[in-house]
C-alpha cells in the first residue's frame, strides 16, 4: 500500500522509524514513532492486562517497513482476516497511528458522522466557525 506523500514525509522525519501493524477494534492500525509501546506503558500498573494486550498486538501484528517508494506491506494474515486483500482502503493518521478503513468501515464512519454533523455544525457556527 502506497502512503500519501504527507504521511511519508512525517514518517521519514521520525527518529524512531519503527512501524508496527496490527489490529485494534476490528481495524488494521499502523503504530508509528513508538506509539504501540507507549500505549502498552499505560497498562504498566496492570501486568496481566499489559501482557494480554501485548500478546493480542503480536498475534495479529508485525513490524513493517516504509520502502523507498513510500509503500508498506500489511501482513498477509492481517489483510486476509480483515478482508483487505485487493480492496480499496481509506487512511486516517491521528496521534502516531494510521487507521486503515475497509470500504465498509469507511461507509459506516461516514454514516455516523452524517448523523451527528448538524448539531456539531450549529455549535461550531455559534463559536464563529465558517466553512
Render each residue's pLDDT in the chain as its tens digit; 131 residues: 999 999 999 999 998 888 999 999 999 999 999 999 999 999 999 999 999 999 999 998 999 999 999 999 999 889 999 989 888 999 999 989 999 999 999 999 999 999 999 899 999 999 999 87
Residues 6+ apart with CB under 8 A from 19: 11, 30, 31, 32, 63, 64, 65, 66, 72
Cα–Cα distance, 72 to 61 (Å, whole number)? 13
- Judging by DSSP bridges, how do beta strands 97-102 and 19-24 pair with one another? unpaired
State the residue for C-alpha cell 481509506: 90
Which CATH architecture fits 5-102? 3-Layer(aba) Sandwich (3.40)
Amino acid at each position: 500500500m502506497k502512503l500519501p506523500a504527507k504521511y511519508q514525509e512525517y514518517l521519514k522525519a521520525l527518529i524512531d522509524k519503527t512501524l508496527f501493524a496490527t489490529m485494534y477494534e476490528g481495524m488494521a492500525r499502523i503504530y508509528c514513532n513508538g506509539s504501540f509501546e507507549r500505549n502498552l506503558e499505560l497498562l504498566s500498573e496492570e501486568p496481566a492486562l499489559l501482557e494480554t494486550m501485548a500478546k493480542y498486538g503480536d498475534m495479529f501484528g508485525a513490524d513493517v517497513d516504509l520502502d523507498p517508494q513510500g509503500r508498506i506491506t500489511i501482513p498477509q494474515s492481517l489483510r486476509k482476516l480483515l478482508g483487505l486483500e485487493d480492496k480499496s482502503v481509506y487512511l486516517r493518521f491521528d496521534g502516531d497511528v494510521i487507521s486503515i478503513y475497509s470500504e465498509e468501515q469507511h461507509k459506516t464512519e461516514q454514516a455516523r458522522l452524517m448523523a451527528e454533523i448538524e448539531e456539531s455544525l450549529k455549535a461550531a457556527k455559534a463559536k464563529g466557525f465558517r466553512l
